[in-house]
Structure 1
C-alpha cells in the first residue's frame, strides 16, 4: 500500500473521500497518538464518533509505516503488533464508541517505531436486524470513507538529530534547474522540519537564505528516526548555478 507523503502533509493527516455522501461520515479522535512500548502508556484510547443521522459500520486496522528517500510512504499490515478492541463496530446515529489500542510488540525498542491506524467506513446493509454485527460488517463491498492516523511507539529519552547530508544541482525532466536537499535524521525520534530556514552559500561567495514560505514541500517535512529524506525545489534565481553549501535551522515539534 503506497501513499505520497507530500499529499499527506498538504492536508496534515488527510481524510480520503471516495464517492461518499455527507450523511455517511464519521470522525476518529485523536488523529495522532504516542504510545510507550511498555507499562500503562502502551494502551491508548480513541473515539469513533458518528455525528450523522444514519447508522454506520466502521472497521479499524493497524499498518506499519515506512517512508522512502523521495518521500513515498508504504504500509504493510501490522495487526499482530496491536490489540484493537473493538476492531469492528456498528454505530447508531449521534453516538460515540470508545476503542482501546494496546501495543503488543517489542517492549524495549532502540528507537521510535512508526505505524498508521486506519478507520474505514463500510457501506453495508444495516436494515437487516437479524444479522449479527460481525456478519453485517463482513457483508461490506468496498470502503467509502477512511481516516488515517499516525501512531508512534516511543521509548524513553529519544530525540531527533538531523544533519544536512548535501545540497546539489539537478535538472528536472522538463529541463528546469532544481536545488536538491538531503537530510539525515540520525536520532531516535522523528523530526518535523517546522519553521525551516536554509542558509545557502555558492562557490562564488553569494549568500542567500530560504525562508519557510520559500521551502514549500520541505518546510514541515517529516523525517522518521534513522531515515533520510531528499527534497527538490526550484533553483533560487538569486543563487548562481554551481556548487552550494548550506546550514539550516528549524523548530522540531512533537
Structure 2
C-alpha cells in the first residue's frame, strides 16, 4: 500500500484574504460538491452547488465564473467567463447555519470540441463595522472558495496514457505555513496525457505501480482512490492533448529502472 501522501488541492482552492477592517467577525463557509461534471445538452447541462454558512454571523457572498486552463505542473490560467453560464442566485446573504443552493445552467453552446474547465468562485464579501465597535485596525478574514466545473460534449470519452514514470525524492509539505519542511521520502513522478475529447478524473481509479525496488527485487504497489484523492485531489487531466504531471509519496522506493503504471476501476 501507499502511505504518507501529501494533501494537494487540485479540485478546489481555498484562499483566506486578510482585510484590514474594524469589524471583528470572522466568517467561514463550505461549498459542495467541489467537483461538478456537466454536459452541453440534456439534463446534465444544469447543476447545483450548495453554499453553507458555518459561522455565528451572517455571510454575504457573490459568485464568479472563470475559464481555467491547467499547465502540466498544475499551475492555472484563469479568464472571466460569466457569459458561459446562468448562475442563480449570483449573490446572497446567508444567516447563521443557513444553506443556499446555487444553480448553474450551461449556455456556452452545444458544439464545443472537447471538455472545458471552469471555476465557480464563491467569494465572501467584507462587511462594515457594526455600531459601537470603534475604529481599531482589526483583521477580518474573507474566504474565497472555488469549485471545479467541467463541461463536456455529449458522448465524449477520455483516452489517458502514461507518457513517463520515474522514481523521485518526494518533498512532503510543511505541517503549517512557517514550519520547516520535513525530510524527503521515496516517491514517483508520473506524467499523463489525455488525447480524448473528454477530461479524466484519475483519482476515481486505482493505480498499480510495477517496477524494481532499490534492492533489485520486483516491486508492486497499489494506490487506492482514497489515497489518490488525498494526494492529487481529483487527478484532473484536460482533454484534447492535455498533460498533467503528478508526484506521489510511496512507502517503498523504486530503483532507477522503468516503472509501469496501470489503471483499475
Distance 1:247 1:125, change over 3 A: closer
> What secondary structure, in the 3-state scheme, does the structure 2 residue paired with 1:8 have?
coil
Instruction: Say yes or no: does 1:41 pair with 2:51.
Output: no
**Structure 1: runs of 5 or more not aligned:** 129-140
Q: 1:15-72 CA deviation, whole Å, 9 max, x = no partner?
A: 4444598862233333332222124432323333335442221011111122211222
Q: Does 1:161 align with 2:154?
A: no
- Is contact 1:162-1:184 (8 Å) kept? yes
Q: Which residue of 2 aligns with 1:135?
A: none
Number of aligned pairs? 231
1:74 to 58, 62, 77: 77
CA apart distance, 1:245? 4.9
Taking structure 2 as the reference length, the TM-score comes to: 0.68
Deviation at 1:177, TM superposition (A): 8.9
**Equivalent residue number for residue 61 of structure 2:** 58
Which residue of 181, 193, 200 corresponds with 1:184? 193
TM-score normalised over the length of structure 1: 0.70
Please name the residue that 2:34 is paired with: 31
Contiguous gaps of at least 5 residues in structure 2: 1-5, 132-138, 172-183
Of 209-218 and 183-192, deviating more is 209-218
* Greater relative CO (CA pairs within 8 A, separation 6+): 2
Structure 1 CA distance, aligned partners of 2:51 and 2:188?
43
Residue pairs, 1:171-250, within 5 angstroms: 179-187=188-196, 188-193=198-203, 194-200=205-211, 207-212=218-223, 217=231, 221-226=235-240, 227-232=242-247, 239-241=254-256, 243-250=257-264
- Cα offset, 1:117, TM superposition: 0.7
